[in-house]
Every structure is written in structure tokens, then in C-alpha cells.
Structure 1
Amino acid sequence: METTTTATPRAGRREWTGLAVLALPCLLVSMDLTVLNLAVPQLSADLRPSGAQLLWIVDIYGFLIAGALLTMGTLGDRIGRRRLLLTGAAAFGAASLVAAFATSAEALIASRAVLGVAGATLMPSTLSLIRNMFQDPAQRTTAIGIWTVSFSLGGVLGPLLGGVLLQHFWWGSVFLVAVPVMLLVLTLAPVLVPEYRNPQAGRFDLPGALLSVVAVLAMIYGIKRFASEGPGWLPVLAVAVGLVVGVLFVRRQRRIAEPLIDLRLFRIPGFSVALLANTVAFFVAFGSLLLISQYLQLVLGLSPLRAGLWTVPSSLGFVVGAMVAPALVRLVRPGYVMAAGMAVAAVGFLLLAQVGAGSGLPVLVAGSVVFFLGVAPVYIVATDLIVSEAPEERAGAASSVSEAGTEFGGALGIALLGTVGVAVYRDLMSGTTVSGLPVEVGESARRTLGGALAAAEQLPGGLGAELAAAARDAFAQAVQAAAVTSAVIAVVVAVLCALLLRRTRGAAPDAAPATPERAA
């Protein structure tokens, strides 16, 4: 019996131009995560928000992106991924306009909330559309690499562009950047981006969607409160509520005929191990970035602008790693590429573990560049595997799971690696004695490096310098401990990827059997 084959369709100029359109909203979503930080002093003086309102202005955007991801990915499979993208782009542009001219803290919080929900529609819809537009595996990996680079560039451009705008205009100008970009997306996407929806999708599971939003929001909120304020009843309660609701969500998904997430996907090694690697990659990266930013400003004494500029090389390392990944995955199996990436990241963390309280800037920059260079291929290949292993009609749901893993990994890394750093700092400072140091000042100095430096400024010259030096040395050792922890975790995940994905291959780039299932 003769077996016929059909060549996998390759993307042309229209698809690659459409990819540029898909990259634009991703660029803006990541910019909005960072650009507001620089505007906080100006908007605080203008709107005069309370402390709680200021926290919600900064945090609610990221919270709602994380909480709505799972729902929006599945919704796009049902109503159409391009339709979801266009709806989200219109909402993002409108909310940006409202935020720019907000006259009260309440209005700014509300508009940032809408921005978060709109942002959650953009990420899974763009990634799942890439799955439809780029059928050839090699092209798809390259496309996902470009899509990922757009996020990284947004993180770099956010503070730089925000600084330029705030130098010449009012704080609301940082939001207006999104308006013309989203108008461009709304104009070009209907022409260049194809529509796709699951033709056999059943009813949308609204109760399941609500359960997923509550579970993710509660856990992310609890983890971030734990990271910023330390242990307490509120973060513990929030995480507990999130876990309980998450269990109810999983039980519901197992029972109903048309679940939001097909839990059988987690039985596929290419899906589950890739999701684990993706989550862990952002766990170690985001957790380390928090400590690095504090080290640059509080230990080395750099200004926020200079500290931000010294993080640009690590972002460029991520871009280089993302662009190299497609070439690597053509030559080596995905599991080995991910294992090698995590191994390179481990080397970067071991470099980071060599920083001291004095001249640690070259070592810190080199270490951060190396670990981002390693993390980037892990994210690219893991995302490609997650989307590719899922059925095409559920690519939106798979994309949302991938992005939710990224959010959880980053939040957990900030909380847990931050906790490691705090524990080491407090332990070292508890054994530090400075003669003549008042008891209340000593307690403040032992809690945080910022408290120690503030206390040192209020003490006589020699006494203050001695306290500041001890605190900086303790924090440098805390960074070392967190870096070693990250290196160990990276090595463990590298071994898991090499072992569990050793038989997983990328789909054949040239041809595929013309089976009835494929034809359908």
C-alpha cells in the first residue's frame, strides 16, 4: 500500500508581516508592566492617592492579567482568536486613553483594571494565532522567538521611553503610547491575520472561568503580599483560598464535557515537562532580578536610572538567546536544548554568587547576561512544545496555560527567593554588633537593608559607616545564597528535561503523513 505525504505549508510574506502586527500588542503589554513605576512620584503629587490606592494603581494591572489568562485563552478558541485580539486591542487603547487623563486615584485604578483584562486577551490570542499562521515547525519556532523578543524589548523600552516622556510631559503621557499602536493593530490585523475558532466548541464554562479567575487572583495576590510584607495571616489566607478554589476548578474540569482546560494534556511529557521548565525558568529569573535591582541601588549606591541602564545588557542577552533558539532546535532535540539552556543559566547564577559588597558590578552584569542567555531558549522551546503538543483547536487554552505558568513562576520566584535572601540577611545581621547602637535602631537595621542604611544616616559618622558596611556585606551574602539556590534548581530542571524529553522530537519540518485525521 502506497503512503502519500503532503508537504507542510510554509508561511509567506503575508504571515511574516502579520507576525509584526502580532508583536505590537505584546510589546505594549510588557511596557505597561514597567513604565508606570517611573511615573509614580508625579501621579502621587497630582492625584494624592492613599498608600493602599497607590499599591492598587501599580499592582492591579499585573494581577488581572494573571487572573484572566486562562479564561481568555479558552474564550478565543470559541469566539475566534482574531476577534478576541481585536476586542482586546480596542479595550486596551480606550482604557489607556482614560488612564492618561484620569483625575482621581479611583479612576486610574479602574482604567488599570480594564488594561489588565484587555492585556490578558492579547497574549494568548497572539500566541495561538502564531500556531495557525506558521504550520512549518522551524518557521513556528522562529516566529515564537520573535514574539518573545517583543516582550523583552517592551521591558527594556518601558523605562527608557517613560523617562523621556516624563522629562517633557505629564505622567499620563506614558499611557498615550498605546493609542496609536492599537489603532494600527485594529487597522492591519483584519487584513494580515487570519481568523480561527474551534468549529466544534461547546458551551463556554462560565462557572469554571470564575473559579479559575478567583483561584489565580487569590494565589498571586497572596504570594506578592508575602514577598512585599513577609509572613502574615492575609497572604496565608489568600493562598489557602486560592488553593481550595483551584481544587474545585480541577474537579469541575474533570467532570464536564467541555472543560476550559483539557487536563489530559498534562499526561503528555512534551506538554507537562515544558510547562515545568518554563515556570522554573521565570521563577529563578524574576526572583534574582528583584535582588539584583536592590543590590545595584542599595549596595552599590547607583541611582534608579543608572541601575536600570545596567539591567539592559541582561535583556540583550535574552534577545540573543531567543534568536539563537530556533537554529539550535533544528539541530538538537528540544529536551536537550532546554537542558543546555538551564545549564547555561546555572553557570550565570554561579557567577552571580561571586558578588561582594564592594566592586561587584562587572560580576553581577556578567552573571545576569549569562543566565538570561540560557533562560531565553528554554522559554522559546518550552512555549513551542506547549502550543504544538495541544490540539490545534485548543491552542488558545494551551497558550494561556503557558503564560499563566510564566506569571506564577515569576511571582513565586520573587516571593521564595526573596524569602531566602531576607532570611540570610537577618541571620547575618542578628550576629552583628555595633558598639553604641540603640536597640530600636538595631532592630530596624536587622529587618531590611533599606532600614539599616536609613538608620546609618542618623548615627555619628564612624558608627553609621560601620553599620552600613555590615548591612551591605550581609545583603551581598544574601544575593549569593539566592544565586546558589537558583543554580541548584536550574541544574535539577536541566537533568529532568534531558531525561524526560529525550525521546520528544520537534515535528518533521518537511512532510507529514496525509492521514484522515490530519486532513480533517
Structure 2
Amino acid sequence: MSPHEHAPPRAGRREWLGLATLALPTLLIALDMNVLGLAVPALSADLRPTGTQLLWINDIYGFLIAGFLITMGTLGDRIGRRKLLLIGGAAFGVASAVAAFSVSAEMLILARAALGIAGATLMPSTMSLIRNLFHDPAQRTVAISVWMTSFTAGSALGPLLGAVLLENFWWGSVFLLGVPVMLLLLVFGPLLLPESRNDGAGRVDLASVALSLSGMLATVYGLKKFAETGFDWTAVLAFAGGLALGYTFLRRQRTLDEPLLDLGLFAHRGFTASITVQTLAVFGIAGGFFFVAQYLQLVLGLSPLEAGLWTVPSTVAGVAGTMLAPAIVRRVRAAHVLGGGLVLAVAGFVLLTFTGPDSGIGAVVAGFGLLSFGFGPAMTVTADLIMGSAPPERTGAASALSETGSELGMALGIALLGSIGTAVYRVGVTEGTPAGVPPELATVAHDTLGGAVTVAAELPAGTADQLLTAARAAFTDGFHVNSWISAALTACLAVLAVVLLRPVTEPAAPERTRVH
């Protein structure tokens, strides 16, 4: 068959309006991830979470999204992807309101968990519907670029809108941003999005759901416990148990006629390499996002609004990089675009190591600008390669796996790199704590930088200054260690991307066009 026969239909006005509607959930997820960073100091002072609770508040959202994505992708295939998208949107709005009015760290963790489960219904549905709306490969690349840009735009709007709210209202108000966004989705979704389902999809295997989720959470709990207490048998057993559950999950998928995770997708080199690079790249940048908001506010002393404004240049750079991606990949091999973007990200991580306890705003702005500009086209290329490598009948599973990789990378990055940075902080602040700090207050100060700032407000001026100096220096040391680890990992990924993806010129399905 000639590659020009049966040319795929091109999208029209209705499809592009549908894409704008699908961008709303992605925008919301980015808003929800980024406003939380600015709210950490305020909620730490109000709810007084422990260091472990603070990490759970940040990352349980991403872990439960990752844990349920494949499940929700299968469910969407059965009941309809548009229907699942609208159900998830309504649930996300309700959970956002619960998070906003949380009165304890435990309540906020549970609300964030509910947001994660609801978020898992949104993400695979959006990507599957994009594949259903845009059949032309060139238009699909542009559509994915717009979809990725909506995430970057949410990253920009989140700090700004969140900062304005934090300047005028309580910390919980940042979660209410999700309510109007979901209302727009519920109004325009039924009008612009076609229903899409796979009538032959199998039932959801509940045992696989339980194995994947419990294995993931046990593994991360072990890592957190180890970072908090050092060598501990609870941490070892949790980590080992999580790995065992993960292995059992994979073994089970090979025996099922309708597996929850279709391992056959990994037989294609382009798919496997792209999803690996995507997951590890997100892992590397996650730690930076976790630390930078606290650095700007708690180390440099900026207000939430000032911190939000200083993130705008990096977001503009990210939007520019993402929107340039479709034009670049028409002239340069996708593998080289991906590798070049990751090299820029390495330079950004190195610049972040030039920050100090008393100065460093220029290094943060320049470093995150390079990170965002490099990551924009890199993430667009990997998403397009993942979708292009999957056979048409497996695009739903492929989109779920792509989003699972991203969310798992983000959550693991916050958990592992955040734990490493927290461990470096604890060592430094413990050594530098002045003798005049009561033991019960010292324990709070040694847990998090936010705790140290809160404790300092209760101490005499001289003692408070010594404690804050030690705490800010220790936090900056942790930030630097985090940045060097991410730089080394991203440099390796840049080489891996070029080596593994350069030979990939034809996708799995014969009717698809070449990826240049």
C-alpha cells in the first residue's frame, strides 16, 4: 500500500476547540502541583506537619495518580473516555474544596490522595481523546505540543494566582483554583468532545490494581523512612516488600488474557526508550521544583507574590521551547532534539548550584529558564514518539503508560531527591543549632526549614539569628546536592536518548509516517 493512500483526515475547527477543552484538565493538574509549593510555608506554620508528613502532602497526589492511571485508562476504554473525564472533573472539584478547608496534616494528606485518584481519571482520557481527534501525524504533533504547553502555562499561572491568594487569604484558598476550571470542563466537554470507547476492552483486574498501588506505596515509604531515621528494619522491610509486590504484579500481567499493564508495548524500541527517558527526566527535575519555592521564600525571604513573579521568566522559556518543538522536529531528528534539550537542562541544574544562603536569585532565574526551555521540546518529543510507536488499538494503554511514567518520575523525584535534601539539611542544621534552643524546639527546627523559621520566631533575637543562619545554609547545601545529582542523571539521559532513539525512524504500525 502506498503511504499516500487513505490519507488520514485533517482536523477542523471543532477538533481544535475540543483540544482547548482537553487542555483544561492538564492546566488544572499543573496549577495544583505548583501552587502547593508556595503554600508550604503557610500550611507548615498552621498545620505543623512533620518532615515526613510534608513530603506525603507533596507527593501522595502524584503517586496515586501514577498508581491508578492504567486502571482508569482501562475503565475509560469500557465506559467511555469522555464520560470518565467528566466524572473525574467533578470529583476533582469536590476534592479541591476538601483540601482547601483541611484542619490537620492528616486531613490534607487524605484530600491530596483523593485529588490524585480523581486526577488519574483525567490524564489518560485527555491523551486518548487527542489521538481520536487528530489523525494526521503533523497535526497530532502540534496538538501534543499545545497540550504540553497547557501544562507549562499552568506552571506559570499557579505561582502567580497562588501568590495573589496567599497575600490576601489563607493557604487553603490555593486549592479552590481547581473549582472554576472543572466547571468549564463540565460545561464545554459534552458540547465539543466526541465519546470514544473500546467495546472489546476487558474488565479491570482488581488484584493487579491492588498489587501495583501497594507495591509503589510500600517502596516509597521505605525510602522515606530510611531518609528520616537512617538504617531501620521497618524501612528495609517496606522497601523489599514493595519490590516483591511489583515483581508479582509484572508476573501476573504475563498470565492474564486482559492484563492491566500491556507489556507487549515495551517490545518496540522507540516506545521503551522514550518512556524511560521521559520518566527519568521528570525524576531529575522534580527535586528542583520541590526545593526552589522554599528557597525563594524561606532562604531569600521573598513574599509568595515575589516568589511567584520570579518564576515567570522560566515559564515563558518553557512555553517558547514547547511551541517551537513541532517546527524543530521537521528539520532535525527527534533524538537530537531530545538530546539537545536535555543538555540545556544540565546547564540549568549546574547554574542552580551557584545559589547561596544570602543571594542567588539570578542563578535561580537563569537556571530554571534553561531547564524549562530544554524540557519543553524534550517532553513533547517523547510524548509524540510514545504515541506514534503504539499500534492504533493500544493508544489508550500507551497514553496511560506515558502519563504513569511522568507522574511516577515526579513523585519518585520528590520522594527520593527530597529525602536526600532533607537528610543533608538535618545534618547541617543539627551541627549549627545554638545551645540556647530548647530540645523540644530544636526537634521541630531540625525537621524542616519551615519548622526552623517558626521556632526562630519564639526565640531571643541573637539565638534566632544563629538558628536561621544555620538552617538556611543547611537547606542550601541540600539544594546543591540535589542539583548535582539531577545534573549528572540528565547528562546520562542526553547520551542515552541519542544512542537509543537515533535509529528509530519508523513507528510500530506500518501506516504511520516517519518520525524525523
State the TM-score, normalized to the length of structure 2: 0.83
1:502 corresponds to which residue?
A: 502
2:145 corresponds to which residue?
A: 145
2:15 corresponds to which residue?
A: 15
Q: Could you report, residue by residue, the CA deviation over 1:311-343 in whole angstroms, capped at 9, with x for unpaired residues?
A: 332233222221122222222222111111111
Note if 1:29 corresponds to 2:29: yes
Question: 2:354 & 2:464 partners in 1: Cα distance?
Answer: 26
Question: 1:276 & 1:396 partners in 2: Cα distance?
Answer: 18
2:245 corresponds to which residue?
A: 245
Question: 2:107 & 2:436 partners in 1: Cα distance?
Answer: 46
Give the counterpart letter for 1:338 in structure 2.
Answer: L
The 5 Å alignment of 1:105-254 reads: 113-165=113-165, 174=174, 177-223=177-223, 232=232, 234-254=234-254
Question: 1:446 & 1:100 partners in 2: Cα distance?
Answer: 28
Does the aligned pair in 2 maintain the 1:198–1:394 contact within 8 Å?
no
Deviation, 1:418, is 3.4
Question: 2:183 & 2:467 partners in 1: Cα distance?
Answer: 54
Does the aligned pair in 2 maintain the 1:93–1:179 contact within 8 Å?
yes
The 5 Å alignment of 1:469-488 reads: 469=469, 472-488=472-488
Change (3 A) 1:191 1:393: farther
Deviation, 1:368, is 1.4
Q: Could you report, residue by residue, the CA deviation over 1:123-143 in whole angstroms, capped at 9, with x for unpaired residues?
A: 111011111211222221221
Between 1:399-408 and 1:16-25, the stretch displaced more is 399-408
Q: Could you report, residue by residue, the CA deviation over 1:145-170 in whole angstroms, capped at 9, with x for unpaired residues?
A: 21122222223323433454566667
Note if 1:299 corresponds to 2:261: no
Between 1:31-40 and 1:368-377, the stretch displaced more is 31-40
1:89 corresponds to which residue?
A: 89
Deviation, 1:11, is 1.4
Does the aligned pair in 1 maintain the 2:145–2:325 contact within 8 Å?
yes
Between 1:85-94 and 1:452-461, the stretch displaced more is 452-461
Does the aligned pair in 1 maintain the 2:59–2:414 contact within 8 Å?
no
Structure 1: gaps of 5 or more residues: 515-520
Between 1:95-104 and 1:284-293, the stretch displaced more is 95-104
| SS of corresponding position for 1:363 | helix
Change (3 A) 1:154 1:225: farther
Deviation, 1:197, is 2.2
The 5 Å alignment of 1:40-59 reads: none
Between 1:70-79 and 1:447-456, the stretch displaced more is 447-456
| SS of corresponding position for 1:132 | helix
Note if 1:395 corresponds to 2:395: yes
Change (3 A) 1:49 1:499: closer
| SS of corresponding position for 2:6 | strand
Give the counterpart letter for 2:394 in structure 1.
Answer: R
Deviation, 1:495, is 0.6
Change (3 A) 1:512 1:20: same
Between 1:476-485 and 1:343-352, the stretch displaced more is 476-485
| Identical-pair percentage | 55
Between 1:61-70 and 1:174-183, the stretch displaced more is 174-183
Does the aligned pair in 1 maintain the 2:356–2:476 contact within 8 Å?
yes
1:335 corresponds to which residue?
A: 335
Does the aligned pair in 2 maintain the 1:456–1:467 contact within 8 Å?
no
1:72 corresponds to which residue?
A: 72
Deviation, 1:261, is 1.7
Does the aligned pair in 1 maintain the 2:228–2:423 contact within 8 Å?
no
Change (3 A) 1:61 1:446: closer
Does the aligned pair in 2 maintain the 1:63–1:220 contact within 8 Å?
no
1:279 corresponds to which residue?
A: 279
Give the counterpart letter for 2:269 in structure 1.
Answer: P
Does the aligned pair in 2 maintain the 1:65–1:117 contact within 8 Å?
yes
Q: Could you report, residue by residue, the CA deviation over 1:213-234 in whole angstroms, capped at 9, with x for unpaired residues?
A: 3223433455556667776555
Question: 1:150 & 1:102 partners in 2: Cα distance?
Answer: 28
Change (3 A) 1:205 1:288: same
Question: 1:258 & 1:494 partners in 2: Cα distance?
Answer: 35
| SS of corresponding position for 2:201 | coil
Question: 1:361 & 1:98 partners in 2: Cα distance?
Answer: 35
What is the aligned residue count?
Answer: 509
Question: 1:223 & 1:407 partners in 2: Cα distance?
Answer: 17
Q: Which of these two proteins has the greater Rg computed from alpha carbons?
A: 1
Does the aligned pair in 2 maintain the 1:220–1:408 contact within 8 Å?
no
Give the counterpart letter for 1:268 in structure 2.
Answer: H
| SS of corresponding position for 1:204 | coil
Question: 1:112 & 1:196 partners in 2: Cα distance?
Answer: 29
| SS of corresponding position for 1:124 | helix
Question: 1:88 & 1:433 partners in 2: Cα distance?
Answer: 47
Does the aligned pair in 1 maintain the 2:337–2:378 contact within 8 Å?
yes
| SS of corresponding position for 2:126 | helix
1:5 corresponds to which residue?
A: 5
Does the aligned pair in 2 maintain the 1:6–1:512 contact within 8 Å?
no
Does the aligned pair in 1 maintain the 2:124–2:399 contact within 8 Å?
yes
Question: 2:89 & 2:240 partners in 1: Cα distance?
Answer: 34
Question: 1:473 & 1:108 partners in 2: Cα distance?
Answer: 29
Question: 1:110 & 1:452 partners in 2: Cα distance?
Answer: 26
Between 1:95-104 and 1:242-251, the stretch displaced more is 95-104
1:517 corresponds to which residue?
A: none
Deviation, 1:298, is 3.6
Give the counterpart letter for 1:312 in structure 2.
Answer: V
Does the aligned pair in 2 maintain the 1:333–1:506 contact within 8 Å?
no
Deviation, 1:204, is 3.0
Change (3 A) 1:3 1:220: closer
